[in-house]
Amino acid sequence: MQTVPHDTPTPASDQTAASEAGLDEVRVKPGDVGQPKYGGIGLWLRDLLVAATASVLIIIFLYQPVRVEGTSMLPRLEDSDRLFINKFVYRISSIERGDVVVFRYPRNTEQSYIKRVIGLPGDRLRIDHGVVWVNGKPQTESYVPEEYQDSESMAEIVVPAGSYFVMGDHRCISWDSRKFGPVDISFIYGKAVFVYWPTRDAGVVR
């Protein structure tokens, strides 16, 4: 499992991303070793092995469990939430505005951040007292509650080709493209899709 921090770095810790591996084992009882696998038991063991192998392949090639560290994606993602990211989706589809993505921090690729895509390549983007304008139109951002809005402004930029402007939903505290600039597509490696723990937060990430 990988830890995905997403708050403003502190002098002591700059949102370190820690990797953890968590795969279920298929255990064989001592009494089963060396015994012929006939009938129902043999079929059951075969199905179990196939299911376990399929699960491992799905985790390795499609989905990866990660842990959120920090609060800059509140209210949807809380500190220590566990979620699955889809590592394959952007090989067959484009990154869209509003996607919550996981990426390597451009200033230190050993760290990973999780943010929401606000600007696409070629977009003209500016921020006027907390209101995001894209291509001359103010954005309606229902995922940013009033208490998490800020009054920060930013001069207009054009998002470079192959790059994306990302921001945290908790605008008051998020360390994002307003500070480190647009993120090149080569750093983005997954889309957040589903929170599985704790159960009170379980559900699709929107």
Residues that are catalytic: 72, 115
Q: Supply φ then ψ for residue 22, to 5 degrees.
A: -140, 95
Instruction: Please name every residue paired with 3 in a beta bridge, in sequence order, or none if there are none.
Output: 67
